[in-house]
A and B are shown apart, each in its own frame.
Chain A
Amino acid sequence: MTVKKLTKGNIALAEGAIQAGCRFYFGYPITPQNDIPEYLAKHLPEVGGTFIPAESEIASINMVLGAGASGERAMTSSSGPGISLMQEGLSYLAGSEIPGLVVNIMRCGPGLGGIAPTQGDYTQAVHGGGHGDYRNIVLAPASVQEMFDLTIKAFELADRYRMVSIILADAMVGQFQEPCRLTPEKPIVMPDKPWALRGRQGRNPQLLKSLYLGPGEQEAHNLDLQKKYAEVQKNEVLCEEKFLDDAEIMIVAFGTPSRIAKTAIRMAREQGIRVGLLRPITLFPFPSEQVRAHSARIGKVLVVEMNTGQMLYDVKIAAHKDAAISFYGRPGGGIPFPNEVLAEIRKALE
C-alpha cells in the first residue's frame, strides 16, 4: 500500500525537487513561498546539495543559469515581484537553451500586491515576460500531490527540451495540506547532457550563448527554437477531462478554481444541469486541441480564473468558432465560491 503523509503544497514541491535529483537551489525570501527555501536549506545539505540565499531574484536566476549550464538540475522559487526580476534571466536561459526550474507561488499584483491566492501571473508565465520570441514550459498543479509529481515532471521536461519549466501555482495550492505520496511514480533517470560546459577535456571547446550577430543567424536560431516549441506542443500536453461526455456546458479552469469548479459541477448535476470540466495541467503547451474538440461538440464554454481573464484568451483562440464563451473571474485575492460559479453556469445556459 502506498503511504500518504499529510503535507503542505510547498513542502511537497520542495521534496519533489530533491527526489528529482535537484541539488542546487538559489532564492530570495518572499511570501507565500518561503516554505520552499526553508525546507531546502535544511534538507539539501543532507543529500550533498547546495543552497544559496541569494542577494536578489536577479542573482538567483543567474545562479540557476550557471548551475544549469554545468548540466545540473537547478531551481529557484519566488512570487510576483521576484518573478518579474527574473524575466531577464529567463530570456537568457531560453536563448542559450539551458534547462532549469522556476517556481512561482503567485501573489496578487500589480506592484507589491497582496498574498492571497490569485492567478494574475498566467500571461507573464505563458506568454513571455522577458524579451524575445521564446516560450517556457508551464505546469499548473491543483493539488498537493501534483505539487510533488509535477515538480519531477518539470525537471524531466526541462532537460528533455533544454527549456525552463515554470511551476505556476496559486497560494492556496502552495499553502494547504493534503495527504500526499512522497515517492516518485517511476524511477528518476538523469539524462546525459553532452552540451553542458564542464571543461574542454577530451573534446572541442563548447559555448552556450544567445548572441547571434551574423546575417541571418538570429533568425535561424529563432526558427530552431520555434521547431522545438512545436514539438513540445505536439508531445507534452496534459489536461484533466471530467464529466464531458454528456455535458451541455464545459468549464475550463486550472489550479484552485478547477477544484471550486468541481464542487459547482456536483451541485449543478444534483439539479440536473450537465456540466463538464477541462482542466489544463500544462499551460504551455496549452491543450488547444482538446478545447477545440470539446467546444465544437458541447457549444458552451465557461472560463473560471482568479484574475480578470488571462487564460481566457488562449481558450478563445483554441475554441471552435461557433462556441459561446463566457468568463467568470475574481482578481486580487478574491476566491470564487461554488455558488457563484453555479450562478454563472445558469447564466451561460440561459
Chain B
Amino acid sequence: MNRIFSRSECLTDTPTHFCPGCTHGIAHRLVAEAIEELGVADRAIGIPGVGCCVFLYYYIPIDTLEAPHGRAPAVATGMKRAQPDKIIFNYQGDGDMAAIGTSEIIHAANRGENITVIYVNNSVYGMTGGQMAPTTLLGQQTTTSPYGRNFETEGYPIRMAEMLATLEGVAYSARVSLHRPKNVMQAKKAIVKAFEMQINKMGFTMVEILSTCNTNWRVSPTEALDVIENEMIPYFPLGVFKERTGKDFL
C-alpha cells in the first residue's frame, strides 16, 4: 500500500494541548514539514514566545530556547550572531509580537537579522483567556473590550506584515491563513520560502499566519474558519508584501 501522507518526522506523537478547532496545530505541522523537507532539523533551533506558542518543544523535537514575552527577536539575534550556520526561528503570537514585543521585532527586522519569524495572529491573547490585543478587530468583543473594540479609545488593529515590509532589512514578509485547505497549502509554501531565504542568507523573513481562537472568540470551530474568511481577511489581506529576489541590499 502506498502511503501518501504521514506525520512529519519533525513532529512528535504527543496529544495536543491546543483547544479543539485551534489552528496552531496546523501551523506547527507546517513548520515541522518545512524543517524536515529542507533537511535542517539537526541545525534548527526554535525560539517560541510566551502564550499558547510556548509549548513548541512538546511537538517539534529540535533544540529549543524559551524567550521572555515579546523578546524572542532579540534572543534570536544573539543566537544567530553566535551561530550563523544554524537555522533560527521565532514562533510568536500576536500578543507577544504586536504588543509587548514591537520594539524587538522592528529592530531585529530593521537590522536584517537572518532569522525567520512565524507570527500567529488570532486577534486575541489566547492563553490568558481572550483579552483584547492590538490585533483585535474593530467591534470585536473580548474579555477586556466587552463593548467591542472602539477605534476612538483603543485604536485600530495593527498590521505587522505590511509594517515590517517597509523596512529595508526585511527580505520576505507575507500573510497567509489556515482556514481553508488551499490556504494551508499556500501557508506551507510561504513558510518553506522564508526558511529557504534564511538558508540562503538573504535576511529577515516573516510569515504572518491568520489563525483561529474559537474558544475565546466564543464560536464553533467551523464558524471560526468563517470568521477568518469574512472578518479577518478583509482587514488583514493575504499576500506577499515584500520579497527580495536576490541580495539586493542598498
The residues of A with any CB-CB pair to B shorter than 8 Å are 24, 26, 50, 52, 54-56, 58-60, 62-72, 74, 88-89, 92, 96, 197-202, 205-211
Residues of B within 8 A of A202 (CB): 42
Residue of B nearest to A98 (CB): B65
In whole angstroms, how far apart are the Cα atoms of A223 and B238 in the complex?
49
Distance (Å) between the CB of A146 and the closest chain B CB? 28
Known contacts A58-B71, A58-B103, A62-B104: does B66 contact A210 (CB below 8 Å)? yes
Residues of A within 8 A of B47 (CB): 66
Interface contact A63-B86, CB-CB below 8 Å:
no
Cβ contact of B79, chosen from A54, A66, A89, A92, cutoff 8 A: A66
Distance (Å) between the CB of B51 and the closest chain A CB? 11
Cβ contact of B64, chosen from A65, A89, A205, cutoff 8 A: A205
Residues of A within 8 A of B54 (CB): 211
Interface contact B103-A66, CB-CB below 8 Å:
no
Interface contact B79-A67, CB-CB below 8 Å:
yes
Known contacts A59-B77, A74-B82; 16 further A-B pairs (Cβ under 8 A):
A54-B107, A55-B103, A59-B103, A62-B68, A63-B74, A63-B81, A65-B71, A74-B78, A89-B71, A199-B45, A199-B86, A205-B57, A205-B63, A207-B63, A207-B64, A209-B64
Residue B222 at the chain A interface, CB threshold 8 Å:
no
Interface contact B63-A88, CB-CB below 8 Å:
no
Cβ contact of A199, chosen from B43, B57, B74, B103, cutoff 8 A: B43
Residues of A within 8 A of B66 (CB): 92, 96, 207-211
Interface contact A200-B82, CB-CB below 8 Å:
no
Residues of B within 8 A of A56 (CB): 103
From B54, B79, B80, residue with most partner A Cβ within 10 Å: B79
Interface contact A197-B42, CB-CB below 8 Å:
no
Residue B148 at the chain A interface, CB threshold 8 Å:
no
Residues of B within 8 A of A68 (CB): 78
Interface contact A24-B74, CB-CB below 8 Å:
no
Interface contact B42-A199, CB-CB below 8 Å:
yes
Distance (Å) between the CB of A211 and the closest chain B CB? 6
Would you list the 5 A-B pairs with minimal beta carbon distance, nearest first? A66-B78, A63-B78, A62-B74, A66-B79, A70-B82
B60-75 vs A, Cβ < 8 Å mask (1 yes, 0 no): 0111111110010011
In whole angstroms, how far apart are the Cα atoms of A210 and B104 in the complex?
20
In whole angstroms, how far apart are the Cα atoms of A60 and B71 in the complex?
10
Residue B52 at the chain A interface, CB threshold 8 Å:
no
In whole angstroms, how far apart are the Cα atoms of A52 and B78 in the complex?
9
Residue B166 at the chain A interface, CB threshold 8 Å:
no
Interface contact A70-B43, CB-CB below 8 Å:
no
From B79, B80, B81, residue with most partner A Cβ within 10 Å: B81
Residue B83 at the chain A interface, CB threshold 8 Å:
yes
Residues of B within 8 A of A70 (CB): 78-79, 82-83
Main secondary structure, interface of B, reads: helix
Interface contact B42-A55, CB-CB below 8 Å:
no
Residue B227 at the chain A interface, CB threshold 8 Å:
no
Distance (Å) between the CB of B197 and the closest chain A CB? 19
Q: Which of B43-61 contact A (CB under 8 A)?
A: 43-45, 47, 54, 57, 61
Interface contact B61-A205, CB-CB below 8 Å:
yes
Interface contact A66-B64, CB-CB below 8 Å:
no
Residue of A nearest to B57 (CB): A207
Residues of A within 8 A of B44 (CB): 199
Interface contact A24-B78, CB-CB below 8 Å:
yes
Interface contact A66-B62, CB-CB below 8 Å:
no
Residues of B within 8 A of A64 (CB): 78
Interface contact B63-A198, CB-CB below 8 Å:
yes
Q: Which of B9-66 contact A (CB under 8 A)?
A: 41-45, 47, 54, 57, 61-66
List, sorted by A's number, 25 A–B pairs whose CB atoms are closer than 8 Å: A24-B81, A50-B82, A52-B77, A52-B81, A55-B103, A58-B71, A59-B71, A59-B103, A59-B104, A65-B67, A66-B79, A66-B82, A68-B78, A69-B78, A69-B79, A70-B78, A74-B78, A92-B68, A198-B86, A199-B42, A199-B45, A200-B42, A205-B64, A206-B63, A206-B64
Residues of A within 8 A of B62 (CB): 199-200, 205
Cβ contact of B83, chosen from A198, A201, A208, cutoff 8 A: A198
Interface contact A208-B103, CB-CB below 8 Å:
no
Known contacts A201-B43, A207-B57: does B65 contact A26 (CB below 8 Å)? no
Residues of B within 8 A of A65 (CB): 65, 67-68, 71, 74-75, 78
Distance (Å) between the CB of A210 and the closest chain B CB? 6
Residue of A nearest to B80 (CB): A66
Residue B76 at the chain A interface, CB threshold 8 Å:
yes
Residues of A within 8 A of B65 (CB): 65-66, 69, 96, 197, 207-209
Interface contact B75-A66, CB-CB below 8 Å:
yes
Residues of A within 8 A of B42 (CB): 199-202
Residues of A within 8 A of B57 (CB): 205, 207, 209
Interface contact A63-B83, CB-CB below 8 Å:
no
Residues of A within 8 A of B107 (CB): 54-55, 59
Interface contact B77-A199, CB-CB below 8 Å:
no
Residue of B nearest to A68 (CB): B78
B110-122 vs A, Cβ < 8 Å mask (1 yes, 0 no): 0100000000000
Residues of B within 8 A of A54 (CB): 74, 107
Interface contact A62-B75, CB-CB below 8 Å:
yes
From A58, A202, A205, A207, residue with most partner B Cβ within 10 Å: A205
Residue of A nearest to B66 (CB): A209
Interface contact B79-A59, CB-CB below 8 Å:
no
